[in-house]
Amino acid sequence: MAKVIDKALEWLQDRTGLVQPIIHMMLHPVPGKSTWAYVFGTAIMTSFVVQLASGVALTTMYVPSGGEAWESIKWMTENVPFGAWLRATHYYGASAMIIFVGAHAIRTFLFGSFKFPRELNWISGVFLLFLTVAIAFTGQVLRWDQTAVWTVAVGAEQALRAPIVGKTLVRVLCSGDNVTGASLSHFFAMHVFIFPLLLIALIAFHVWLVLHHGISEPPTPGKPVNRETYRDEYKELLKREGKPFWPDAAWRDAVFSTIVVLGICACALHFGPPAIENPPDPSLVNAEPKPDWYLTWYFALLALVPAQIEDWFILIFPVFLVVGLLAPPFLSNTGERSASRRPWAVAIVVVVVGSVLALWREGINEYWTPRFEAKPVPKQDIGATAGPVAEGGKVFNDRGCLFCHSIDGHGGRRGPDLSDVGERLTHDQLTIRIVNGGVNMPAYAGNISPKELESVVKFLESRRPHQTVIESSNNTQAK
């Protein structure tokens, strides 16, 4: 049997010349100490294979039509065997790609792997990172539900901030002047043809570079990269302790990739496919578009940035991200590689990861949004059944104050909590604020009658902390 295979391979080598190079590639030596820190790259590629397989399958039923895309997704999820499963694995496969692109970037940054001679490995990797996010974002749009159409509108509003080219950018993003079926078709072409082809080409280049320069060895503190000597030292290292990639390193990649695929399957099984929300009907105004989880931090950042610098921020931040990510090999491509000798590198990773996590939490809490569904302040918390305080409580509930301000836990969190505002502000101060408004608060002068104003101020004046304390102690006594 082995002889037959040998013969066949010999023939293949003779006729194609491909067998030897592949064997050579499989057996290329890698530094002996490269261990579990080196498995993220293949984890990304494995997740990408999951994406290709599930994505190609999904296109056999998905209809990229403005009027029918949503229906086709609903149909395949509810009626087609494996439909829900493929949609779920495609979603969690994308999530896995994003997570491991992040992990891979942090690992190569902390190990100083971007230094000489691997600058282009890093730079092509940065483009792969942005391409991955672009594929994920266009994929979210293909879901073509209510969130998708408003997400495109939100993107257009950001693009419109750009001077001179703003309108042109919006046109390119929407493929026209509004979000229409043409927008969806263009997003489909990008998500299904253009970006994946670019991604495959860039991955090939990236992997070629990895093979060309060899996998960067784990850094040793006190052993800086020197342009003149590095290549010889690396060759020496491989001679001394190099191990063939297959199977000495490949088994770890295989094991970790299997864990990743099983993780994607576990998420798909447990959480199911992303919910099919409302249809892409822009006439339904009760929409609160939110990006998928991997952009929640940026969504929070946009909400938190002060209004005065917002225009600049929307324009400059993406440029800052690109420049910042491309910068490392330009700033320092020789010298120490070990993280223990590069405190600034560690600090940058800690600050970036910490900021993203903090913003992510804020993005989930979203206290900056008015709460239209807030329940009115109940009678017992208003504290009066007749007279100006009771009337003021009604004004507070009816005139929209409630959407942004809360009293005793009822209402929104966009504006200050007014549970004890009677302690902080006088009658006149309250009146002035309501009539004139503030940075985020509308001026109510034209929207409220003098009588209503007087009663709501009375109501707010009566908001004092001890009241609630007395009430709750009364409640306890009653119990």
Partner 1 sequence: MCCSDQPPKEEPKVSIDWSKILVDRAEFLKLVALGCSGLIGLIVAIPGIGFAFGYFLVPKREDWIKVGPIEHYEVGNTVAVNFTDTTGTPWDGVCAKRVAWLRRIDHSNFQAFAVNCTHLGCPVRWEPGAALFMCPCHGGVYYSDGTVAGGPPPRPLHQYPTRVANGQVEIKVGPVLTEG
Tokens of 400: 């929209």
Nearer to partner 1, 120 or 441 (CB): 441
- Residue from 177, 233, 236, 241 that binds partner 1 (CB under 8 A)? 177
Stretch that binds partner 1, among 178-186, 238-246, 385-393, 470-478 (CB under 8 A): 178-186
How many Cα atoms occupy the beta-carbon half-sphere of 176 within 13 Å?
Answer: 10
Contacting partner 1 within 301-320 (CB under 8 A):
302-303, 307, 310-311
Stretch that binds partner 1, among 37-45, 51-59, 119-127, 274-282 (CB under 8 A): 274-282
Place of tokens 């909590």: 417
Stretch that binds partner 1, among 42-50, 341-349, 424-432, 443-451 (CB under 8 A): 443-451
Contacting partner 1 within 349-368 (CB under 8 A):
368
Radius of gyration of the chain (CA): 30
Q: To which H or E segment does residue 10 belong?
A: helix 2-16
Burial class (CB in 10 A: 0-12, 13-18, 19+), 82: exposed
How many Cα atoms occupy the beta-carbon half-sphere of 450 within 13 Å?
Answer: 0
Least distance from partner 1 to the Cβ atom of residue 78, Å: 18
Place of tokens 């399957």: 265
- Residue from 60, 283, 449, 477 that binds partner 1 (CB under 8 A)? 283
Binding-site size for partner 1 (CB under 8 A) equals 67
- Residue from 67, 318, 335, 354 that binds partner 1 (CB under 8 A)? 67
Burial class (CB in 10 A: 0-12, 13-18, 19+), 98: buried
Stretch that binds partner 1, among 150-158, 223-231, 237-245, 419-427 (CB under 8 A): 150-158
Contacting partner 1 within 126-145 (CB under 8 A):
144
Write the DSSP string, 309-368: GHHHHHHHHHHHHHHHHH-HHHH-SSB---GGG-HHHHHHHHHHHHHHHHHHHHHHH-TT
- Residue from 61, 68, 103, 301 that binds partner 1 (CB under 8 A)? 68
Nearer to partner 1, 232 or 398 (CB): 398
Least distance from partner 1 to the Cβ atom of residue 469, Å: 31
Tokens of 156: 């257009």
Q: Distance between CA atoms of 283 and 291, rounded to whole angstroms?
A: 20
Contacting partner 1 within 196-235 (CB under 8 A):
none
Least distance from partner 1 to the Cβ atom of residue 358, Å: 18
Least distance from partner 1 to the Cβ atom of residue 421, Å: 18
Tokens of 232: 């010889």
Q: Distance between CA atoms of 420 and 408, rounded to whole angstroms?
A: 9
Stretch that binds partner 1, among 23-31, 77-85, 276-284, 457-465 (CB under 8 A): 276-284
Tokens of 175: 């493929």
Q: Which residues pair with 406 in a beta bridge?
A: 411
Residue 156 within binding range of partner 1, rule CB under 8 A? yes
CB 302: neighbour CB atoms within 10 A? 17
Nearer to partner 1, 108 or 175 (CB): 175
Stretch that binds partner 1, among 86-94, 125-133, 165-173, 421-429 (CB under 8 A): 165-173
Nearer to partner 1, 115 or 405 (CB): 405
The answer to whether the CB of 24 falls within 8 A of the CB of 235 is no
Backbone angles phi, psi at 407, to 5 degrees: -130, 125
Residues contributing to the site for partner 1 (CB under 8 A): 65-68, 70, 144, 149-150, 153-158, 160, 167, 170-172, 174-182, 184, 186, 189, 279-289, 302-303, 307, 310-311, 368-370, 372, 398-401, 403-404, 414, 437-443, 446-447
